[in-house]
Chain A
Amino acid sequence: MNCSQGRGRASLLAGGAIAAVLFAAGCTPGTSAPAPAATAPEPTGTVEFWHQFTDRESKAIEGIVKDFEAKYPKVKVNITDGQDDDKTEQAIGAGNGPDLAQSFSTDRVGKFCSSGAWVNLKQYIERDKVDLNKIPPTVRSYTEFRGTRCSMPFLADAYGFYFNTKMLADAGFTSPPKTLSELTTMTKALTIRKADGTITRAGFLPQFGFYEFSPAHMSPAAGAKWFKDDGTSAIGTDPAWQEIMHWQKDLVDWYGYKNLAKFTASLGDEFSADHAFNKGQVAMMIDGEWRVAFLKAEMPNLEYGTAPMPVADSQASRYGAGYVTGNIIGVSKTAKNPEAAWALIKYLTTDTAAVAKLANGIKNVPTTTDALAAATELHADPHFKIFLDIFNNPASQTMPASAVGTAVEETFSQYLAKWQSGGGGDINAGLANVDKQINSLIQLAG
C-alpha cells in the first residue's frame, strides 16, 4: 500500500466516522406534539392510552373511559394496560409512544417534565380554566417539577398502618401502636418464633425493600427530608433518617437478619392472595389504601383494622400523617392527537363525577376536593376513611420529584440493604456516600 492509498483509506474511515457522529448528533427522537389550539376544540379521532393498572383495576379504568367516549362520541380510546415506565419512555423516545400515559411513579415526574417526555400542560390548563386549587398542595407538588406542570393527578395513594385485630386482641392489645417504640414492643409480643430463631409469625416486618416497607413510606414517621433547599441530597445530614434507621436496625437485630431474610423469602407475592397479611403470617404492616379493596376481594372475613402509621417517639405530634403519592397522567411529547388526549386527561382528573366514580371503583383516594367530598362510598368504609384522613393531614409527605427519577430512593435503598444486614459500616460515611452518588447523578442529568 502506498502513501496515497493509505491516506485515501484513512480519509474514507474518518469521513465515515464523522458521518456516523453527525448522524447520531442529528438524531432527534420523534416529532413533538402540536401546540394547543387557541380555544378548546371538540375532541375527535383516536386516542392511544397506556396505563399500568391490571386485572380488577384495569376493568374500572375501561368503565370510566367508556363514560368518556359516551360523552364525546367522536373519540375512540384505545387502551393498553399493564405498561411500565421504562417501556413507555422508550416508546416516546422512539416516536411510537401513546397519546397519553399514566404512571404509578410520582418520583418520575421530574424526569418526565425536565426531559419533555410529557408536554407542559400549562397552556391547556390556562385555556380551559382548570382550577388547580381544587387539588391539595401535596398532590400539586408531586405532579410538577421546577415550575413545569407536565402531569395531572390521576387518583392518589395514602399509606397507613394495617393490623390484624384478632392477633392484637389475643396478645392483650386494644389499639394499634402510635409510636415506633410501641411498634417494637407490640412486634415482639406478636411474633412467634421457634427455639432456633425461625420465625413462624412476624409481628411486623422491618426489612427495607420487602412489600411496602420502604424509606419513602417511612419518611413521614420522623419527617425525614430528601433534599436540601439547594436541591442536593439531604439524606446524610437530616438526623430524622438516622432515627428511623437505628430503630429499624434494632428491630432487625432482635429478629436476627438471617431469620428475617429466610422468613420473608418464604412469603407469598405482594399482589396475590398469598400475601403474608392475608395468610396470618404477619400481624401488622404498612401499606397503601388500595389494600382495603384487595382484602375485601381476597379475604372478606379477615378481621383487621387500619390506622395512621406509628411515628418517631421524638415527634409524637406527627401522628396522623403518612406517605402520600399517586398516579400521574400526561400527554406524550409525540402524541398524535394531543387535544383529545388532554380532553381525556381533563375528564379523568377534574370531572367530579368521573373522579369519584373511579375512586370508588378501584378504591383509591380522589385527588380533587370536590371529588373527595363526593366519594361517599369511601367515607362510609371505616377502613378506608383512615386513609382519607391521612391524605388530608398537612404533615403528610411525598417524595419530591427529581431529574433522575427513581435513582434517589434506589441509591438510598442500596445502602439500606447493606445497613440492615450489618454490612453498612459507619452510618455517617455510608450516608455521605449516598448523598455524593445522588448529587452526582442529579448533576449529570442537568
Chain B
Amino acid sequence: MSAVLTDTAGGADRTAVGPLGGATRPRRWSAAKLRRRLTVLAFIGPALAGLGFFFVYPLLAAIYFSFNRVDLINPPEWVGLANWKFLFHDLNVRQAVSNTLWFIVVMVPARIVGAIVTAMLLNRVRRGRSTYRTLFYLPALAPPVVATLAFVSLLKPGTGPVNTLLAKVGIEGPLWFSSPDWAKPALVLLALWGIGDLMIIFVAALLDVPTELYEAASLDGAGPWQQFRNVTLPSISPVVLFSAVTGVIATLQYFTQAAVAASVASGDAVTGGGISGTFGYPEGSTFTYPLWLYTVGFRNGLLGYSSVLAVVLFVVAISVTLVLLRRFNAFAGSTR
C-alpha cells in the first residue's frame, strides 16, 4: 500500500521503480487511484449534484432565457439582445437599483454597528446576561411577514401607538410607511429590531478576544476608543467581513419586508391581482430590485427580461463579495 502511495506522489518514477515490471504496476496504481477517486466522488457527489441542479443549471438557464421571450406557458423564443437592450432604457430598474443601493449603504452598516454595540453592551452585563441575550435575540425568530405587519401597525400614522405616544410629548410623528421619505428608514428600524442573528455572532466573537490584549493596551495608556479601534475591531474583523458579505447579499435580495410593508400601508385591497400591484408604495420608495424582477417576470409575464435582471443581480453579488473580501484582507493586513 505504501508503495502505491509513494508512486502516486512521484508519478515520473513510476515505470522505473520495482521489479514487477512497468506493465503491471501502473495498472495496480490506476485501480487504487480510481477507487480512491470514486470514494471521494461518492462523498462529494450529493453536494455536487445539488450544486449542479440548484445553482449551475438555474444560472445557465437564466443566461439562456435572458436571450429569449419566456412566459412560463410556451417554449422560449429567441429574441437575441432585445431583453438586454431594454435594461439600459428601463425606467423602473433605475429606481429599483437606487432603492436597493440605499438599503445596502444604510441598512447593512446599521445592522452591523447595531449588532456590535448591542453585543458589547450585553457582554458588560454582570447579572442576567443570558436573559438579556435571549430577549435581544428573540425578534430574529419572528417570521418576516409577521414582524413587518406588526411594525406597520405600530407605526401607523394617526392611530398607531408610536405616533400616539409622540403626540403626547408634543412631537408630530412622521407618516412612516406612508411617506416616501420615511418608508425606507422605517424598514431599517425593522431590520435593527431583528439584529439578534448578527448580535449573537458578535457576542461570541467579542468573548474570543484575548483579555491580555486589553490589559496590554491599557498599560500602554489606550483609552476605550483606542482599545476598540486597535484591539477589538481587528480581532473581530473576520466576523465583520462575514456580516458585511452576507448582509450585502441578503440586501440585494431584499423582498419580503418591502413587499408586505407596501401592501399593508397602501390601504389598497389585496384581491385577485395579488400584492404585487402595491409594490413600491409610497411613490416607489420601497421598490427594490428583486421586487421589479418578480413583477416583470411573474406579473407582466416577461421572464426573459426578468432573467436579465437575475443574471445582473448574480454578477453584482459576486463582484461586491470579491471587492469586500479584497478590501477586508487589506484592512486586516494593515492592522495585524
Q: Kindly provide the distance from the CB of B271 to the nearest chain A CB, expressed in whole angstroms.
A: 6
Residues of A within 8 A of B136 (CB): none
Residues of B within 8 A of A406 (CB): 273, 277, 299-300
Give the contacts of B290-328 with A (CB-CB under 8 A): 295-296, 298-302, 304-305
| Also in contact, A265 and B157, with CB within 8 A (given A25-B75, A93-B73) | yes
Q: Are the CB atoms of A265 and B60 closer together than 8 Å?
A: no
Give the contacts of B63-82 with A (CB-CB under 8 A): 63-65, 69, 71-77, 79, 82
Query: Bound complex: CA of A333 vs CA of B278, how far in Å?
Result: 28
Mask, A13-32, CB within 8 Å of B = 1, is 00011001101111111100
Determine if B251 is an interface residue (Cβ-Cβ < 8 Å): no
Q: Pick the contact of A52 from B82, B158, B272 — CB < 8 Å?
A: B272
Determine if B274 is an interface residue (Cβ-Cβ < 8 Å): yes
| Also in contact, A404 and B302, with CB within 8 A (given A93-B72, A266-B158) | yes
Instruction: Count how many chain B residues have C-beta atoms less than 8 Å from C-beta atoms of the other chain.
Output: 59
Q: Pick the contact of B265 from A23, A90, A265, A443 — CB < 8 Å?
A: A265
Q: Are the CB atoms of A333 and B283 closer together than 8 Å?
A: no
Interface extent on A, as a size class?
35 or more
Q: Which of B13-21, B89-97, B195-203 contacts A (4 or more CB under 8 A)?
A: B89-97
Q: Kindly provide the distance from the CB of A28 to the nearest chain B CB, expressed in whole angstroms.
A: 5
Q: Pick the contact of A21 from B61, B92, B272, B276 — CB < 8 Å?
A: B61
Q: Are the CB atoms of B305 and A90 closer together than 8 Å?
A: no
Query: Bound complex: CA of A414 vs CA of B92, how far in Å?
Result: 9
Residues of A within 8 A of B63 (CB): 21
Residues of B within 8 A of A441 (CB): 296, 300, 302
Q: Are the CB atoms of B298 and A89 closer together than 8 Å?
A: yes
Mask, B215-248, CB within 8 Å of A = 1, is 0000000000000000000000000000000000
| Also in contact, A117 and B73, with CB within 8 A (given A266-B158, A414-B280) | yes
| Also in contact, A258 and B175, with CB within 8 A (given A406-B277, A441-B302) | yes
Query: Bound complex: CA of A264 vs CA of B86, how far in Å?
Result: 36
Minimal Cβ-Cβ distance residue in B for A266 = B158
For the A-B complex, the count of residue pairs with Cβ-Cβ distances under 8 Å equals 182
Give the contacts of A255-284 with B (CB-CB under 8 A): 258, 261-267, 269-271
Q: Kindly provide the distance from the CB of A16 to the nearest chain B CB, expressed in whole angstroms.
A: 7
Residue positions of A touching B, CB distance < 8 A: 16-17, 20-21, 23-30, 52, 83-87, 89-90, 92-94, 103-105, 111, 115-117, 209-211, 258, 261-267, 269-271, 333, 403-407, 410-411, 414, 417-418, 421, 423, 433, 436-437, 440-441, 443-446
Q: Which 6 A-B pairs rank lowest in CB-CB distance, beginning with the nearest?
A: A266-B158, A93-B72, A52-B272, A24-B61, A104-B272, A265-B178
22 contacts between A and B (CB under 8 A): A20-B56, A21-B63, A21-B64, A24-B64, A30-B73, A93-B71, A93-B72, A104-B273, A115-B74, A117-B71, A209-B266, A210-B267, A210-B268, A264-B178, A265-B158, A403-B301, A406-B300, A411-B92, A421-B283, A440-B86, A441-B296, A444-B302
